[in-house]
Structure 1
Amino acid sequence: MRIKSSIGSRIFDSFNVIGLCLFSVLIMLPVVNVVSASFSSEQALTKSRVSFWPVDFHYGNYEAVMENSVFWNAFLVTICVVVMGTLTNLVLTVSAAYPLSRRFLRGRKPILMGILFTMIFQAPLIPTYLLIKNLNLMDSIWALFVPMACGAFNVMLCMTFLRVNVPEELLEAAKVDGMSEYGIVAKIVVPLSMPIIMTLMLFSAVSLWNNYMLALLYITEARLRPLQLYLYQLISQGNMMEYADVIDTATSSSPIGIQMATVVISTLPIVVVYPFIQKHFIKGALLGSIKE
């Protein structure tokens, strides 16, 4: 049965849709401009003729980026950091959230208060730097994800989800059948928690992919530079040394065009992966936000 809306409700819905459409267009305009600049010639970019459509369309900027070994080294470092960091984050988060979601755990409240304390008061930069240095993690790939290995927000979100969607009666029945705690986590808790696990995986992967502050602080060797630090040095500092020969010999390539093409390629993996896990992300975020 369809409920008839009032005139005021329909007017509100219309303005709401129009406003959201305009807001979406405003958000997409910088993205379209970057993509257009990546396919435009040096003359068009120098004369500021590029707006939202490529001028003198060509692929020279992308060819220069794809043939650059330094870019691919940074890309592979980022892939390794994202994979290792996401797996570490998921294991530690679920391992911490599962016992904290059970009400019978002794000392549960002080532990939760400690986790909440870290959400409010974060460690200062200098002590964190000294800790990483004393652990001999400087100039190592571990320094790029160990400081983000387990977040308090992710633990609280996963704990709430487990408390709401994994009833204690089910776990007690599994214990009566002789299943161990590890078996319960592997065969019951994890399969029932796939929505929140996919949500946490997206949070962790995007954070690790976009993070350059850790590399800026703890990495000095060029071979360990992740993609975001490479982009920072390429765009903010104008470091185009590895493209000098390409720009001199190929008139179709330009520093600005190469920078824009690098940005597009760096953003593409997240854009491609997100639609496949969007439904899990929405479901996990909504269910994990419910409190008893």
Structure 2
Amino acid sequence: MTELDATPDIVGIRTSLTQVKDTTGTRVFRVVNGVILTIVCAVTLYPFVNIVAKAFSAESYIAAGQVNLWPRGFNLTTFKAVMGDSMFWTNYRNTVVYTVVGTAIAMVLTTTFAYALSRKHLRGRNAFIGMAVFTMFFSGGLIPNYILVAQWLSMRNTIWAIVLPGAISVFNLLVMKSFFDGFPAELEEAAALDGMSTYGIFFRVVLPLSKAIIATMILFYAVTQWNSWFGAFLYLDKKNLFPVMMYLRNLIAAASGGTEVTGNMDDAVQIGANIQSVTMLLTVLPIICVYPFIQKYFVSGVMLGSVKG
């Protein structure tokens, strides 16, 4: 059969595929799929919208359960109490510093360790992987960790007590290792033939082609560090070193005492009513602002790193 004779058959196949795509069943599926996804999005967004509405609502409407999707009795008392405190901004700055430094350290350690574990010729490779996986299921316990950080390493009331103990997440490490396992060996061999060292290959070839997984890991580490408060609770005594999560935790505890937050009883009642909504909104807002910039890498990064076990 000549190429000309085969052309009508190809055209016929394309026409058949086009007709299949436009069938009634396909259109119904698209409509049903769109409706289901819309409902899922609405159910997912409702709690957050409700929190935003409560954050700006008056205490009487919140207590009566009349706040749903729109603020009622618009009120900024709690926002003024929180954002008018200079300690809030000091702790907020601390959280930004802890998140940036902690994420940077975690990414350096995780990427280098994961790349090393992905190399088949690494001596003791299986032993290193086994040690890493072992820590996912077993730990020294709270008291030994506290003694190690606070006494032996003398990191109490320092930034290092916050950013170093959780510097490597084994889950993130294994995801990155899986990604590097599937990296084309031909590219590294070609770079080696051009005279690149191991470090040159890693920094100039591997990392530039790993933007998706790196962006995903940055998001994971940044969110974890941003939401962390227990480490500060254990290792920090000075209020000017607290992250914002510790400040908000203490504010919620103080709000339960009423006049400890403010001398005005009416304001204390208002703060106690929507303090949780305000704190949730203030803490989640920065992550929401950052997420759109790396969202395009998020799904592809997770999938790339999870193809192999």
- State the TM-score, normalizing by the size of structure 1: 0.87
Q: Which moved more, 1:192-201 or 1:219-228?
A: 219-228
Question: Are 1:77 and 2:94 an aligned pair?
Answer: yes
Question: Are 1:109 and 2:126 an aligned pair?
Answer: yes
Partner of 1:94: 111
Q: Secondary structure at the match of 1:147?
A: coil
Question: Are 1:276 and 2:293 an aligned pair?
Answer: yes
Partner of 2:160: 142
Question: Are 1:217 and 2:245 an aligned pair?
Answer: no
Offset at residue 139 of structure 1 (A) = 2.0
CA distance in 1, matches of 2:155, 2:238: 13
Offset at residue 120 of structure 1 (A) = 2.5
- State the TM-score, normalizing by the size of structure 2: 0.82
Partner of 1:151: 169
Q: Deviations over 1:248-269 (max 9, x none)?
A: 6979963333543232121100
CA distance in 2, matches of 1:259, 1:224: 22
Taking the TM superposition and a 5 Å limit, the aligned residue runs for 1:163-242 are 163-165=181-183, 167-236=184-253, 238=256
Higher RCO (CA 8 Å, separation ≥ 6 residues)? 1
Q: Secondary structure at the match of 1:274?
A: helix
- Is contact 2:262-2:268 (8 Å) kept? no
- Is contact 1:115-1:152 (8 Å) kept? yes
Q: Deviations over 1:198-247 (max 9, x none)?
A: 010000001111112212222222112112222222225536777415x5
- Which amino acid in the other structure matches residue 233 of structure 2? L
CA distance in 1, matches of 2:308, 2:268: 60
CA distance in 1, matches of 2:28, 2:79: 47
Offset at residue 16 of structure 1 (A) = 6.0
Q: How many residues align?
A: 290
Q: Deviations over 1:5-60 (max 9, x none)?
A: 99888877766655554444333333222211211123433444323321122444
- Which amino acid in the other structure matches residue 211 of structure 1? S
- Is contact 2:91-2:244 (8 Å) kept? yes
Offset at residue 125 of structure 1 (A) = 1.6
Q: Deviations over 1:101-142 (max 9, x none)?
A: 111111111111111211232332222112112211122221
CA distance in 2, matches of 1:76, 1:256: 27
Identity of aligned residues (%): 39
Q: Would the alpha carbon gap of residues 271 and 239 (structure 1) be closer, same or farther in structure 2, given more than 3 Å must change?
A: farther
The structure having more radius of gyration, on CA atoms, is 2
Q: What are the ranges of 5 or more consecutive residues in structure 2 without an aligned counterpart?
A: 1-16
Question: Are 1:162 and 2:180 an aligned pair?
Answer: yes
Offset at residue 157 of structure 1 (A) = 0.9
Q: Would the alpha carbon gap of residues 236 and 4 (structure 1) be closer, same or farther in structure 2, given more than 3 Å must change?
A: farther
- Is contact 1:234-1:259 (8 Å) kept? no
What's the Cα RMSD here? 2.8
CA distance in 1, matches of 2:135, 2:25: 46
